[in-house]
Structure 1
Amino acid sequence: MTLNPCLDKTLVVPGWKPGDSVRGKAVRDVVGGKGNNVARALKRLGRSSRPVTFLGGAAGATCRALLAEVDGLDPIVVETRSTTRVILTVATEGTTDQTAFFDPDPAISQAEADELVAQVERALSEPGVEALTLSGSSPSPTTHGVYSELISLARARRIPVFLDTYGPALEAIWGFWPTVIQMNRREAAMRLGKPSVDDEDVVRLLRDWRRRGVACGIVTDGPDPALVQFGDVLYQVAPPEIPLKNPIGSGDSLLAGLVDGWLKGSEPEAVIRRAVACAAANASVWDAGAIEPETVERLEDELELEAF
Structure 2
Amino acid sequence: MWASCCGLLNEVMGTGAVRGQQAGFGGGAGPFRFAPNTDFSAYPSPAAAGANIVCKACGLSFSVFRKKHVCCDCKKDFCSVCSVLQENLRRCSTCHLLQETAFQRPQLMRLKVKDLRQYLILRNIPTDTCREKEDLVDLVLCHHGLGSEEDMDASSLHSSRSQTSGFFTHPFSMSVSVSSQGELANRRGSTGNGTPLRTPGLSRKRARASLSDISSLEDIEGLSVRQLKEILACNFVNYSGCCEKWELVEKVSRLYRESEENHKTQGEKMQLNDNDDNLCRICMDAVIDCVLLECGHMVTCTKCGKRMSECPICRQYVVRAVHVFKS
TM range (shorter): under 0.3
TM-score (norm 2): 0.21
Greater RCO between the two (CA within 8 Å, min separation 6)? 1
Whose radius of gyration is greater, 1 or 2? 2
TM-score (norm 1): 0.22
More strand by share: 1
